[in-house]
Amino acid sequence: MNPVSSWQFWALLSASFAALTAIFAKVGIDNINSDYATFIRTLVIAAVTFAILLAMGTWQSPATVPGRTWLFLVLSGLATGASWLCYFRALKIGAASQVAPIDKLSVVLVAVFGVVFLGEKLSAVNWLGVAMIGGGAVLVALRI
């Protein structure tokens, strides 16, 4: 199997870029309001994503997107925006090495929400992993 077509490949890239996001953002927000920094970041993301859509020929008319899809993508966008604003505010105040692990508690919440709202099933081993991720995030963030 081509690694580029696996979800694991893209998930590892996502984690790598998320790590860089924390480091670059911590340096970048040094002399700027965290909300304004989030705005700049959002403009960059929108421009790059639009360019990729055009380059790949995958742009589609917004009118072709079903209403339910719009609803959930708008809700996702609102959640993303709120997450970014909170993340940048936390980075402005705290150490990146403490903020990022607590932010990654989202992994634990996704597992719980997936079970509760999407009907996903997790085994005992999966739940152990979720607990370890949660505990690990807290331990990494502690400064003792």
Q: For residue 43, give Cα distances in angstroms to 39, 52, 66, 120, 143.
A: 6, 14, 25, 34, 35
pTM reported for the whole predicted model: 0.85
pLDDT per residue as tens, the chain (144 positions): 788 889 999 999 999 999 999 999 999 999 999 999 999 999 999 999 999 999 999 999 999 999 999 999 999 999 999 999 999 999 999 999 999 999 999 999 999 999 999 999 999 999 999 999 999 999 999 988
What are the residue boundaries of the structural domains of the chain, listed by start?
7-93, 104-144
